[in-house]
Structure 1
């Protein structure tokens, strides 16, 4: 096997994303062949003895999981407030150290991908690959045509302007003064969908992600998960390659 950079090796082994692996290296958490490494240029392969926080690093088979995340669960592998995290929902059949690709807010439900393939995760999260994510939101009030146009064109938020999106009003409830709206984006900033609706004066009451590219929640109920098929993984990787 050709030697690769240590942070990539760690990411591929499911330790963490490549960026997080770089942070772990820089802060002295990683040893290679008995020596602590803090530089980013070190290259390794399976013949090297790699330890993370004193634990030997064992390479794992790649795992790709689609989960229907419930509300009230953190999109993480640990939580300092001891709240339930998405990996708590995994059963004994998942022994690999998977972690979420991106995140859904604590009170947001829907489609979440988990993997131990760091490069795959980084590509899916990067906005330049334009991976569409479709959300259904229950919002206060009724969006006007101008508000929809503003959301679709891109709206100024704290620190950035959102990219173009697609907005569809699915239904309106005049008695409850609310609407059901589908919005398709390809970015993943924190609280982005909520902030976009807030920016045009409509607070999100309830939010769910129903689609990730061509993947849906079909066949799953809240809290369940399944492995992606080989074809689904191949199709996602092909789309990323085609968009480079």
Structure 2
């Protein structure tokens, strides 16, 4: 299955699964109206089973959407795509509920939910569109630098972990220095690397710079495979909650 089909299938599963959960929630509420207790609402258990099953499917599909950037280059990591699918599913489910349930008050509530979710869907979709346009522009910039720019090896002067993880990748703010015929230059760029490639002061990175590098206004930074690595990258891992003293002895 190619990238377009994977992203489309996962998005569709999130939308449909969320829609069924929302519709089932309104159906449960309708079934409970007029029933003295939960036991008197005969269809509640089936609505609940349907909601749980489709909710699990929607949740698993939403998790796969976080890998959409691995399938389509135009979609950036941590994009708005999952939230677009969630809100679209809520809007769809609420619309169906407003058209099918019998209780007037619940129909009004469902319609209000549908309108609200539709507004958020449009807003997030516009943000996603801007992300995609920005990603395309960045890819074009990097391709132009690789095709027409110059590659230089620069010394790492500062390497600051931003505490941002993108999947298994870490985002660093790296200041690197290099020398050309016009003198010494420094650039500061973001660098996304795996934990085993964490940059360190004293190491090197590779820079793609426009023209001859004497005016580094357009730069792309990438890890240098020949550079030394951070001696203790485990320090960047999230710290887990410490155990209580003697906690292992509690039974």
Same fold (TM over 0.5): no
TM-score with structure 1 setting the length: 0.25
Which is higher, the Rg of structure 1 or of structure 2?
A: 2
TM-score normalized by the length of structure 2: 0.24
User: Per residue, is there more strand in 1 or in 2?
Assistant: 1
Structure with more contact order per residue of length (Cα contacts < 8 Å, sep ≥ 6) = 1
